[in-house]
Amino acid sequence: MSRERAFRRAQREADRARRLAEHQHQQQRAARRQARRRAVGEALPQRVRVARPLGRLESRRRRRWRIALLVVVVVQAATWVLSDSWWLRLGVLGLSLLFTPVVLVLAADRRS
């Protein structure tokens, strides 16, 4: 009977030692993985979150851009509906793309 108890105790201790070794192996793997992630994260540039300006001037600027975009879309739609010429359609698109920034700068100029 005492041999049997000793044998069971040895089995339990062996199982406990195996589980402990496996647990330590898992912890080492997790530590290596975390160190690797940390090293990669430090090597990459940090993300910088930039808040959108919320002032009156910024809201006016956004409104001007929206209006300009709406005007460009309306002009393009009218050109596509009223004309069958591809040259005219492409010409109006090109001129719209060229003159939209100019109109925005002129609309934003408060000195004159």
The tens digit of pLDDT for each residue in 9-59 reads 999 999 999 999 999 999 999 999 999 998 888 888 888 877 777 888 888
pTM (2 decimals)? 0.48
Please list, in sequence order, all residues whose beta carbon lies within 8 angstroms of the beta carbon of residue 52, skipping any fewer than 6 positions away.
58
6: enclosing H helix or E strand = helix 2-43
Domain limits, the chain: 1-50, 56-108
